[in-house]
Structure 1
Amino acid sequence: MSTSPLDNPFYYLENFRQVLSWIGQRYDDLLDDEERRFIEDFARLPQPAQALLVRMVMRKGLLFRASKLTYAEIGDARQAAVPLLECGWVDGQPHLDLQALFGLLRKDELSLCFKTHGVKRAEKKADLLERLRPLHEHIQPLDQWFAGFDEVVFALQVMPLCDRLRLLYFGNLYQEWSEFVLADLGIYRYEKVEFSAESRGISQREDIDICLHLHSCREALDQALNEREQLDELASRALAIRTDNPWLAMRRGKLLFRIGQQAERLQQWPLALSVYAQSSYPGARVRRIRVLERSEQYAEAMTLLQQAQALPENDEETQHLLRIHPRLQRKLGHGAVRKRSTRTVKRLDVSVTPLPDYSVERLIQLHLAEEGSEVHYVENALINSLFGLLCWPAVFAPLPGAFFHPFHSAPSDLYSPDFYQRRAALFDECLTQLDDKRYLEVMRSTYVNKFGLQSPFVFWGTLTPTLLEQALHCLPAQHLKRWFSRLLQDIKANRTGMPDLIQFYPEQRSYRMIEVKGPGDRLQDNQLRWLDFCAEHEMPVVVCYVQWAEEVTIAKSGYDSVPVGDAGGYDSSESAGPAA
């Protein structure tokens, strides 16, 4: 994709051609006759016809007024559409129902079309539709709806086929055709991943049908937010899906998890329990425990909780279980749970004067820098970036289902529970370099050779050469290894919640991290888990609580401690909201 749209008005067509070529080369054995014929016939069309089809495919909907398809590089849309009409990819006289007609015509045009019905100027378009609906339940072409109206409507006929091709290219159906255009603009640069038949996430024709079925179920879920009967039927459809493809099995698990969340909102406890029990998606087990508790099945909830405590899926689940356990104990009449001993981190109280356009983190950065040390506002960027530099080969390993096309900024399975397990040997090899000084050269080399390439971990805008060198000088390799290992336990949960600031003491080759909390702010769950982890491994970290100088009579600046071991506070597992 070498030509910029600034130079080539058909840039979108050039991209589409290359996508079809990629699909033909990579998935020829999975294509059916109709898809192969489409790819071959598309190449034979005149350029204006190709461009018009792509424009329609990339727009929303399936019905288009010819007068609205105005593109300078295409010219007359009616003329460009002739080859598309001849091959049946576009219908030039589609039968329209009243709803479709109203979607195409303006209010003034509808007034002329239905002038015998006494359309009032003040009557809203939606009200007119409802008034006319019982009188016009038939479907017919536009010229029969509106005689003498000089307009042509095109109906796109190949969208299901194009959706299947889009699925093969992106590996999903939530990304639109227009997204790959950004690569052509030169805005982003991507790692070159080695593709092979073995690295395909979709390896048989049946996988395409299953993926389309899953997508259809997800769309139906979005439309059935408060329909109990529809949710029951949808759950049955999802539970009936069977696949040996790990990539698709994870998608099925996520769909069941979301159906369970919706069942909870509607207080359909048996349905929620049924789908959660068959979902492998992270968090499904703790949701089952909460549903059992809310439906007063306390003994069953305690049994499942004890099973989860014996083998928790991640730190987040452990945190939820610690909060649920005391409630279940009380409800079962077992008495209070012996309180778990808590770890603490240092607390620093500081009062500062607010400044316009300065966040509280920036103010504390300036305040601490006055001590003569190097202080950086890094939040999640530094540890993630160092991990990304060291583990670059493992992150971009071409495993099945990880990469579908050349423009991935991250593996498709980045947040899957088995992301690490599938690459364990590769990641372990990378982390072993922290046992000697090899990691220093690896990180520096990756920084230079991969600079600017899209990565799910490396924050190029934050990780300056100076920050990189200070980090490599002051951060012990043992601490890096512990951070990276924890990150790999649960990428989705553990890549956030890290302290806001890092303070380097180059002469001592030491550091400390500072989590900043402004007036009224509180520690969040993922932050508590990170602080607890640092306290457990005796890593230098403090929580800085800030007050505005004019709000206190005595400026307080000193140390205390903050309990973090039990990650106290509200029970976030109460929420059945959508997972991120």
Structure 2
Amino acid sequence: MANNDKIILPEKYYLDNFKYVLSFVMDKYEPLLSNNEIAFVTGFTTLSEDAQCLYVRVSNRKGLFFRKEKLIYSEIANLNDAHEELLDQNFLINKPFLEIEECYQLINIYNKPEIIQMLNPLDIEVDKKLKKDELILGLLEGHDAEILQQIFYTNSIITQGAREELDMIKLFFFGHNHGDMSDFVIRDVGHAKFMEIDESKLGTSFDSREEAEAVMQLSQLNKEFYLLEEALSPLSMYAWFKEIEIGYFLNMDKAKQRAEKLVHKVGYHLEKHKHYEEALELYHISSASPLRERRIRIYNKQKDFDKSLTQAKQILEGPNDNKEYYIALDVINKLDKKLKTTTLRQKEGVSISVDESYLHRVEQGALAYFEAKGYQGYHSENSICRNVFGLFFWEEIFDPKYNSLHQPLQRNPSDIYGKDFYAKRKEAIAEKLQKTKSKKHLSKILESSLELHQGISNPFVHWDESMIEAMWQFLAFAKLKQIKSLLAEMAIDPKNRSTGFPDLFIWKENDYSFYEVKSPNDHLSEKQLFWLERFQEWGVPAEIALVEWT
């Protein structure tokens, strides 16, 4: 498609997509749906098309409240009739009582002059110099929310009904709480291409109603956390968390990872405010990353180095990821009066002189330095290695038999960043690597993926032409054994081992190298150290370029 070819979507494309989602969920998950959710789907199909359009339009907008006069949709013939129909069928509602946060959102849909004008008849004094948000907060602090609701909740206010039912239906469809109907638009206008998979082969996001409700509850708890974070004291946040039956969520596969993230958020909030004992209590709930590393940091702050050392040794016996491994190693090295592992390695880098005009483009400056010495190169960062991985293992990543593809707009398999990714595909990965006997064979696999899947969304592949060229250039130099070692290493833990690769790839004649670029105030990360060590082990030239400004 030419750049100036603009795709015009059908007038009611959004309604077609919404109906598709309802049909998909009913076909695949009806036994798991509640009576209210089934009634929602059934009731929606009986609405007039204008009413359906208005409901979908409102449900796709952000916010709780909308002003009818601000909703202008040419495809809806009679907005007032559609509004009345939706109110009658409870797809739109009039809320009898608003919480403080809801009242804030209601007043916020008006601009500042409108707010002042609506208050005039009631002789409510306001400081017109205040910013809008300060004005609203002042109103909420000084006046009864019920009175404010009577002023601002007029007959022209539209409030979405059946929100909980729709949220659950979207959860079943997308498999997560941040699913967005705009994904259909991104696909339909050609901004993204998705894998085409026979829907009969798609797996399920949830195997039980309990799993889906647990994920929905955790989503609500996360929202609560962000609201309470600023309003409550740290110890009150701790008391709030203690009321949650976190063990229930941790014992459920589909909810476990989300629960661990909540534990980390609350624990880190306590740690920031120096409530170390309470934070440690939460960090001991699970051994997931980064909870064990946070324990070490608190033990060190408390100068309890015995516990820190014990924890470090436990991590080294079975690290969750590269960062955890190197932090544990640093604790042990410190006892031998050694520098931090990453610091030691950085000191071994080579110094290069870069003009200060590249102060905010340090990688480009380093590349210019090498180009002045006759090298060619790319600022490729993670793209080269990720491209090789994503193209080589394309079938293994997207094979429906692993039950990690649940709906047709899915960019990434649901297990792509979890421990299950490798566990499920271990045999297929090993077999493919074993059967790849030559670089020519490997190149054919990559060429086939490029030809069959050009432009299709893949969590690892960067389709920029220059990055594909950089991949081929690297493969021209690397040995088959080195490439296969790279692929095997990345496959073990794609979440943590698909980033941290060196910034630059350069070559001249038969000489090539990767370089991790560090400005004077920049520090080597654990992920970067991991790949520098692996490259050294495999004989892939890789170094740290320490920039000196000139």
Same fold, judged at TM 0.5 (above) = yes
List alignment gaps of at least 5 residues for structure 2.
Answer: 1-5
Question: Quick one: distance in 2 between partners of 1:229 and 1:155?
Answer: 33
Deviation string, structure 1 residues 464-523 (Cα, Å, up to 9, x no partner): 6644443333221111122222223432332222122223466x5x63223334565443
Q: Which residue of 2 aligns with 1:576?
A: none
Confirm or deny: 8 A CA contact 2:312 2:329 kept in the other structure: no
**How far apart are 1:21 and its partner, in Å?**
1.7
- Say which one has the larger Rg: 1
Q: 1:315 is matched by which residue type in structure 2?
A: N
TM superposition shift of 1:154 = 2.5
In terms of mean alpha carbon deviation, does 422-431 or 46-55 score higher?
422-431
Report the counterpart of residue 439 of structure 1 in structure 2. Answer: 442
1:456 matched residue in structure 2: 459
2:39 alignment counterpart: 37
Mapping 1:323-472, distance limit 5 Å? 323-326=330-333, 329=335, 336=337, 347-351=349-353, 359-366=361-368, 368-369=370-371, 374-398=376-400, 402-437=404-439, 438-462=441-465, 466-472=469-475
Paired residue for 2:3? Answer: none
Amino acid corresponding to residue 515 of structure 2 in structure 1: I
Query: Counterparts of 2:187 and 2:421 in 1: how far apart (Å)?
Result: 26
Give the C-alpha shift of residue 197 in structure 1: 7.9
Identify the residue that residue 162 of structure 2 maps to in structure 1. Answer: 158
In 1, distance between residues paired with 2:81 and 2:391?
Answer: 54
Sequence identity of aligned pairs in percent?
25
- Kindly tell me: are residues 260 and 419 of structure 1, through their superposed partners in 2, closer, same or farther at Cα, counting changes over 3 Å? farther
State how far apart, in whole Å, the 2-side matches of 1:535 and 1:412 are.
Answer: 33
What amino acid maps onto 1:17 in structure 2?
K
Q: State the distance in 2 between where 1:129 and 1:471 align.
A: 58
Distance in 2, matches of 1:257 and 1:202, equals 25
Residues 482-491 or 289-298, more deviating: 289-298
**Is the contact made by 2:386 and 2:461 (CA closer than 8 Å) also made in structure 1?**
yes
Q: Give the letter for the 2:264 counterpart.
A: F
Conserved? CA contact 1:396–1:411, under 8 Å: yes
The counterpart of 1:283, out of the listed 282, 290, 304, is 290
Match of 1:482 in 2: 485
Taking the aligned partners of 1:505 and 1:133, their CA distance within structure 2 comes to 69
Task: State the partner residue of 2:506.
Answer: 503
Greater mean alpha carbon deviation, residues 130-139 or residues 77-86: 130-139
| Aligned counterpart, 1:540 | 541
SS at match of 1:237: coil
Partner of 1:311: 318
* SS across alignment from 1:241: helix
Aligned AA for 2:70? K
Query: Does the 8 A contact of 1:514 with 1:544 survive in 2?
Result: yes
User: Quick check: 1:252–1:279 contact (8 Å CA) kept in 2?
Assistant: no
The CA distance in 2 between the partners of 1:295 and 1:221, in whole Å, is: 27
Q: Return the alpha-carbon distance in structure 2 between the equivalents of residues 128 and 394 of structure 1.
A: 54
* Counterpart in the other structure of 2:308: 301
Q: State the secondary structure of the residue aligned to 1:168.
A: helix
Instruction: Tell me the TM-score normalized by structure 1.
Output: 0.81
Alpha-carbon contact 1:66-1:153 (below 8 Å) kept: yes
Aligned residue pair count: 534
C-alpha change, 1:5 and 1:367, in structure 2 (3 Å) is closer
Shift of 1:435: 4.0
Map 1:3-152; keep pairs closer than 5 Å.
6-92=8-94, 94-95=96-97, 99=103, 102-106=107-111, 107-108=113-114, 110-119=116-125, 122=128, 124=130, 126-127=134-135, 130=138, 136-138=144-146, 142=150, 145=151, 151-152=155-156
Distance in 1 of aligned mates of 2:426 and 2:382: 23
Aligned counterparts of 1:266 and 1:456: Cα–Cα separation in 2: 37
Matched with 1:205 is 209
8 Å CA contact 1:65–1:151 kept in 2: the answer is no
The residue matched to 2:211 in structure 1 has which SS? helix
> Aligned partners of 1:93 and 1:269: how far apart in 2?
43
- SS of the counterpart of 1:119? coil
Alpha carbons of 1:467 and 1:302: their partners in 2 closer, same or farther (altered >3 Å)?
A: closer
CA contact (8 A) 2:126 2:135 kept: no
1:314 is aligned with what amino acid?
A: D
Distance 1:161 1:150 in 2: 26
Return the structure number with greater helix share: 2
CA distance, structure 2, for counterparts of residue 238 and residue 401 of structure 1: 29
**Structure-1 residue corresponding to 2:196:** 192
Unpaired stretches in structure 1, ≥5 consecutive residues: 330-334, 552-580
Cα displacement (A) at 1:463: 5.3
More displaced 10-residue stretch of structure 1: 347-356 or 382-391: 347-356
Name the CA distance, whole Å, in 1 between partners of 2:360 and 2:435.
39
Greater displacement, 382-391 / 177-186: 177-186
Distance 2:263 2:136 in 1: 40
| Conservation of the 8 A alpha-carbon contact between 2:516 and 2:543 | yes
Q: Any idea what SS the aligned residue of 1:543 has?
A: strand
1:557 is aligned to none
* 1:162 alignment partner AA: L
- Equivalent of 1:171, from 171, 175, 186? 175
Separation in 2 of the partners of 1:500 and 1:546?
Answer: 13
